[in-house]
Amino acid sequence: MPDTHPTPTAPGGGLVPAPLSIDGPGRGTVRLGADTALAAGPGTEDTARWLRDTLGAAFGLPLPPGSGKTPDTLALAVDPALPPEGYRLAADARWGVRITGGGPAGVFWGAQTLRQLLGPHAFRRAPLAPGCAAVLPEQTIEDGPRFAWRGMLLDVARHFVPKDGVLRALDLLAAHKLNVLHLHLTDDQGWRIEIRRYPKLTEVGAWRERTKLGHRASPLWDERPHGGYYTQDDVREIVAYAAQRHITVVPEIDIPGHSQAAIAAYPELGNTDVIDTTSLKVWDTWGINPNVLAPTDTTLRFYEHVLDEVLGLFPSPFVHIGGDECPKDQWRASATAQARIAELSLADEDALQSWFIRHFDRWLAERGRRLIGWDEILEGGLAPGAAVSSWRGYAGGIAAAKSGHDVVMCPEQQVYLDHRQHASPDEPVPIGFVRTLEDVYRFEPVAPELTAEQAAHVLGTQANVWTEVMDSQQRLDYQVFPRLAAFAEVAWSRLPAPAARDYQDFTRRMAAHYTRLDALGVGYRPPGGPLPWQKRPGVLGRPIDGAPPNV
């Protein structure tokens, strides 16, 4: 029989991420029931709607509108005296639950905490039985985030994630108080966003004939065509769904490398005086591709038109343009590229890439947006408003912060969640260094050599989920969870230095959090290792032995 009347959770309820402070518990409990009213103050309407959709559905609660002046009330309010994303949650048997946020986002994060306090039942979509109780101990929680940018990159270019999977990812980000979804929308292996001016980007560029199974050295192929894309209405829906959860969706349109899917659709974008670009297809394997964009006016105008449509879909102040892993061999062999270098009096092909990036830096700035790109964009200098995603280690982020640029720390050696979680041969398609749950928990986004003024340029941090070897929701779940929970605590909570962090306390709280993930249907990696159906025997990976370098 299901436990339809669960014991109230302990103070703090095994909260993940850990809050700033918990005062309690009191002797009493607070019960949300059929008579509990929901009093939503100005600015809290999205959270009220979310509570009715989630807690209302999980416990069969109507949560009718109320005034907040009567007992048995769930009250939501904004108090600008609190930090914008900060909140106070007070549960008292005399009057119910009050969630007060410094802004609408703070109220929403407080509601996420309430959901955790109510136990795993609160993460289901329907009551397990009539009378399923929503009970929590009396307590007061004060909380707020350490970083403003708490993100996850989802690579939908290598393996397409259907729209419903993206919406599910947004719900999981919200459950962990993460507030940025970086969508990697274009790459050599696929173009995933409808651009109406250039329909071949999706007619041709969204589909590949087959797919390499595992690492690029694997002899195995999946011979099924693979692809998909988001219509512009799909994107509008994703962005609106995210906004209701106080999540910003940052689009990435990769230039000038990682562009074979675009060149396959429009061959004039490539270096036509070096190779027959009409022969190129959407790439079916992994690695760094030599086929890059030509530095021509045709290419610049094309991507300006693309970005015009992207800006109309994504209100994010930041637009990511990639800028990484751009081989220069074709530019060295191209008379057109060499003529451009001479025309602009550039030093070399590296300077040509910098010119390419700076063009779009200025173009975005003129339209009130900010360019963000991988740390290679530092080479050659940046405009003052540009920001950097530091992926090759800490060095790029340190250099950016020291030169006055904002930075998002996402070093591959620490928070690339496609990297394997254990050294066991049972790990499915093992890629990269071993990054355990504890390793992620001890990740520190701010390098110690930064001064306080320089550290203020660290906007936050991001875990990156590259999907070359993640071809299904099951594989994504396994690689992302539970490590995303540890990452969320690093991004949200004010933790001590890595060596001083209480990992045992975190694992104790995770015991409660696993039951929430179970209720949500998340196929995480169990602490004891992969379950039989999570293994991928015979699919070659690329494990790297030893500890990752701290670079």
SS3 state of residue 211: strand
Please confirm, yes or no, whether 325 is among the known catalytic residues: yes
Output the CA–CA distances (angstroms, integers) from residue 228 to 32, 188, 386, in the order listed.
43, 14, 31
Q: Which of 85, 187, 376, 412 is catalytic?
A: 187
At position 532, the amino acid (one-letter code) is P
DSSP string, 380-424: T---TT-EEEE-SSSHHHHHHHHTT--EEE--HHHHBTTS-S-SS
In the set 184, 258, 405, 419, the catalytic residue is 258
Contacts for 496 with CB less than 8 Å, ≥ 6 apart: none
Q: Which residues of 473-502 are buried (b: 16+ CB within 10 A; e: fewer)?
A: bebbbbbbbbbbbbbbbbbbbebeeeeebe
The H helix count followed by the E strand count for the chain is: 17, 24
Contacts for 251 with CB less than 8 Å, ≥ 6 apart = 183, 185, 193, 310, 313, 314, 316, 319, 320
Q: Which two tokens stand for residue 106?
A: 């703070």
142 is catalytic: no
Report which residue type is found at 551: V
Residues 6+ apart with CB under 8 A from 344: 352, 355
**In terms of Cα–Cα distance, which of 418, 415, 421 is closest to 530?**
421
**Contact between residue 47 and residue 114 where contact means Cβ atoms under 8 Å apart:** no
- Look up 284 and say whether it is catalytic: no
Closest CA to 115 of 42, 14, 240: 14
Catalytic residue among 325, 350, 426, 518: 325
CA atoms of 441 and 133, how far apart (whole Å)? 33
DSSP string, 215-283: STT---EE-S-EE--B-HHHHHHHHHHHHHTT-EEEEEEEESSS-HHHHHH-GGGB-TTTS-GGG----
DSSP secondary structure code for residue 75 in this structure: E
What the block records as the tokens of 462 is 């991001």
Degrees to nearest 5, angle at CA 345 with 341 and 349: 35
Task: Answer yes or no: are the C-beta atoms of 416 and 464 closer than 8 Å.
Answer: yes
Residues recognised as catalytic: 187, 258, 325
